[in-house]
């Protein structure tokens, strides 16, 4: 009898632990915020404010930055349902309408993402003094590898970085009858 009670307690404890495991999430459908973008070679640096509407599948970006040491200002309204993009230029007082042939991708952690870990930003010595953060890694639909940090409650994206995965077939694989690469084929671009 005692073994049965211990077994039931162990099962309940394990179910409780599994239920508390963080799961990939989707950000709230209506958001406003700001972001910054920079490239590794420092050719591009930009700061933007955004308005995100997942219900209407709309995004508005108001951005300024520098590309190749030239400054730019950009105001773009992306209407994914209508397939239209409006580019607004306040300096010239013009509005350019373009076709938008991209799919709407909601702000979310991919379903196949892996949890790297949890951390508390701020103090964890008192209740409500820190923010519990989940850090995820995964692959987006656009073949981009991504790592994102989100708040545990609300799924607000705090930090996200991504890079494109390019698949290159080495020339030695295309040759018939040769299974080993030539000694010069192992260059940095294949590593």
pLDDT for 100-121, tens place per residue? 988 888 888 888 889 999 999 8
Q: pTM of the entire structure?
A: 0.66
How far is Cα 117 from Cα 24, in angstroms, rounded to an integer?
12
- Considering only CA atoms, give the Rg of the chain: 24
CA 108 to chain centre: 7
pLDDT tens profile 15-48? 555 556 788 888 899 999 998 888 888 889 999 9
CA–CA distances in Å: residue 189 to residues 161, 168, 169, 173: 21, 9, 11, 15
How far is Cα 33 from Cα 116, in angstroms, rounded to an integer?
25
What are the φ and ψ backbone dihedral angles of 12, each rounded to 5 degrees?
Answer: -65, -40
How far is Cα 103 from Cα 58, in angstroms, rounded to an integer?
11
């Amino acid at each position: 009898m005692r073994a049965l009670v211990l077994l039931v307690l162990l099962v309940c404890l394990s179910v409780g632990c599994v239920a508390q495991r963080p799961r990939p999430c989707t950000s709230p459908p209506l958001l406003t915020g700001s972001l910054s973008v920079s490239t590794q070679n420092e050719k591009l640096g930009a700061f933007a404010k955004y308005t995100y509407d997942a219900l209407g599948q709309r995004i508005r970006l108001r951005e300024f930055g520098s590309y190749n040491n030239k400054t730019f200002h950009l105001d773009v309204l992306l209407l994914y349902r209508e397939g239209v993009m409006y580019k607004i230029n306040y300096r010239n007082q013009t509005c350019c309408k373009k076709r938008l042939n991209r799919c709407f991708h909601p702000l979310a952690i991919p379903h196949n993402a892996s949890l790297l870990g949890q951390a508390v930003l701020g103090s964890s010595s008192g209740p409500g003094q820190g923010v519990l953060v989940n850090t995820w890694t995964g692959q987006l639909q656009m073949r981009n590898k991504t790592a994102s940090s989100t708040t545990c409650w609300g799924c607000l994206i705090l930090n996200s970085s991504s890079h494109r995965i390019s698949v290159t077939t080495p020339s030695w694989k295309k040759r018939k009858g040769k299974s080993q690469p030539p000694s010069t084929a192992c260059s940095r671009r294949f590593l």
